[in-house]
Amino acid sequence: MYDPAKKIKFLLVFIVAGIVLKSLDLLEYMVYGLMAYLAWIAINMVIVGIRLLVGQIKSASSEKQYSANQAMLHEKLAKDMQELRKYKDAVPKEQQEQVSELEADISNFQSRNKNDNA
């Protein structure tokens, strides 16, 4: 990935090379090399920008999928809650307390998720 120390070393090499080339009257080639290096940096910046954009698109897609899954879960819980209430009276008296606890747990879960989504 991006290593600032390497970039600084590379620029120092360019400066030293510039001094040497200046003394040999070849500074013109140093300028061409520097322009090529700046073009390389620009190309890398474009590539990084594209990667970030693709990452944001994937992130938005997974958020939509998460919301869809969340909505499906709420629908299923609502149906289960209706069914639980429908058959609650058919449960033997000894297990009525367990059914009530289950009903309370589902209600708490639904209200907690609604608060989280709000």
**CA atoms of 86 and 78, how far apart (whole Å):** 12
Confidence of residue 2 (pLDDT cuts 50, 70, 90): low
Tell me the C-alpha to C-alpha distance, in Å, between residue 114 and each of 39, 66, 71.
51, 14, 11
pLDDT recorded at residue 118 = 55
pLDDT recorded at residue 1 = 55
pLDDT recorded at residue 51 = 84
Question: Angle, to 10 degrees, between the axis of helix 27-87 and the axis of helix 96-117?
Answer: 150
Q: What is the count of structural domains for the chain?
A: 1
Higher pLDDT, 49 or 113: 49
Ramachandran category for residue 25: left, alpha or beta (phi over 0 → left; psi -120 to 50 → alpha): left
Mean of pLDDT over the chain: 77
Higher pLDDT, 46 or 78: 46
Domain range enclosing 25: 4-117
